[in-house]
Amino acid sequence: MLLYLLITLLSVPISLAAPLSIQEQWTSVSDPLIMSRNFEIRLMLLPMTGKVTSTQKFWSGDYWALNKGIINRRWNATTLGNTAPPNRDQARSWTMDQLKQLSPSEKFDLFNGRYHYPLKREVENYSDYNAQYWEGICHGWAPASMNHNEPSAKTVKNPDGLLIPFGSADIKAVLSYFYAYPYQVLNTHQVGRRCFNPRDPTDPNCKKDLNAGAFHIILTNKIALDNEGFIADVAQSQEVWNHPIMQYESRVISDRRGARPNSAPGTTRTLGLKTRITYADEASNYWEAGTRKVDSLMLNYELEINAYGEIIGGEWQSNQRPDFLWLKSRPAKFSGNYLRLNDLLNE
């Protein structure tokens, strides 16, 4: 359902590498150090359950499909149809009900006093009416949902004093688009790579790149210890389903001494876990805020532990598992064409 996410993976410099006990157990693309240099790796200090405490973030939203025009889609239209958006003079005569039916991009252009609709034209360039049904801007919605409080519906004035009504879904749309395209960061801290063919046992992107032990370290640290969460492509398939992860519950199903033949060097104990991860899911568009739809995924994997009680590796036992993990930080401020986003957010 979601757009392929192009992420540049920046490798960790050798001069900054963690102690040898961390870096030898998984490939460089699966190193937890990609996400943080301060992770706890001692099993006894990693909670078996965790949940991000924010009740305002991790909101559900549309993935704004490419084949439906992304945020040019008039999701709230009932009578407006394909009527052209109003120019300056026409906008003054339109009713509030008519303005409510415009697309998120059209409303944001009006809010900025840009009656030539440059954002609408820009969005059209990214639209692809021959795209697959799952392709959209989930790579914008997921970090927007994780980084910002859910926006509420509001009516705001443009530079000419015209009142522009925004539904919660309209603001989510513009914010998601901003994260998907205009907003660029140097490093998305991606762990693992995209799997294009999960049925191919020789494809290292599908079978070995996201280590189960590295996943557990990231999961427990980011959610239980940092209270932040992270983003995951939750399905190993050609499609990309980016979702912000907000909660997990683990339980031990096996505990044995020693290592398997393919365990990480130094393994003295192997722990089998079942872990359920919970994430914000997509939802239909609504005018008012208060939308949080969640889904979950059950994972089965083993952790490889050394004599010091540290997680040094792992092995997936289930085919159902995340494809890759990543982060996209919140901008320090909105500027340029998106300066007025500040006036639409609840923070």
Segment 289-308 mean pLDDT: 94
Whether 119 has a pLDDT exceeding 70, the answer reads yes
Q: What is the pLDDT of residues 214-273, one digit of tens each?
A: 999 999 999 999 999 999 999 777 788 899 999 999 999 999 999 888 899 999 999 999
- Return the axis-axis angle of helices 138-147 and 168-180, rounded to nearest 10°: 110
Whether 161 has a pLDDT exceeding 90, the answer reads yes
Contact, 302 vs 270, CB < 8 A?
A: yes
Check residue 318 and give its pLDDT: 84
For residue 76, the SS3 value is: coil
Segment 312-320 mean pLDDT: 90
Instruction: Please state whether beta strands 269-280 and 294-305 pair in parallel, antiparallel, or not at all (unpaired).
Output: antiparallel
Q: Where are the domains of the chain?
A: 18-56+189-326, 66-185
Place of tokens 């949902």: 145
Whether 15 has a pLDDT exceeding 50, the answer reads no
Contact, 243 vs 279, CB < 8 A?
A: yes
Check residue 262 and give its pLDDT: 86
Checking 121-128 for CB contacts under 8 A at 24+ apart, the result is 123/69, 123/70, 123/71, 123/72, 123/177, 124/69, 124/72, 126/66, 126/70, 126/181, 127/66, 127/67, 127/69, 127/70, 127/72, 128/66, 128/67
Check residue 18 and give its pLDDT: 33
Average pLDDT score, the chain: 89
d(CA 159, CA 137): 29
Whether 157 has a pLDDT exceeding 60, the answer reads yes
Number of alpha carbons in the 13 Å side-chain half-sphere of residue 320:
9
Partners of 295 in the β-ladder: 279
**pLDDT bucket at 35, cuts 50 / 70 / 90:** very high
**Dihedrals phi, psi of 267, to nearest 5 degrees:** -70, 130
Checking 84-93 for CB contacts under 8 A at 24+ apart, the result is 85/109, 85/110, 85/117, 85/120, 86/110, 86/115, 87/115, 88/115, 88/160, 91/115, 91/162, 92/162
**pLDDT bucket at 97, cuts 50 / 70 / 90:** very high
Residues whose CB is less than 8 angstroms from the CB of residue 23 and which lie 6 or more positions away in sequence, other chains included = 17, 31, 33
N-terminal to C-terminal alpha carbon distance within the chain:
30
Residues whose CB is less than 8 angstroms from the CB of residue 291 and which lie 6 or more positions away in sequence, other chains included = 59, 60, 61, 150, 168, 283
Check residue 23 and give its pLDDT: 37
Check residue 202 and give its pLDDT: 55
Closest by alpha carbon to 75, among 174, 181, 158, 4?
174
Check residue 108 and give its pLDDT: 98
Torsional class of 336: left (φ above 0), alpha (ψ -120 to 50), beta (otherwise): left
Element (H, E) at 109: helix 104-111
Residue 191 per-residue DSSP state: B
Q: Name the pTM for this structure.
A: 0.88
Q: Which two tokens stand for residue 276?
A: 């359920």
Check residue 205 and give its pLDDT: 55
Contact, 289 vs 67, CB < 8 A?
A: no
Q: What is the pLDDT of residues 69-93, one digit of tens each?
A: 999 999 999 999 889 999 999 999 9
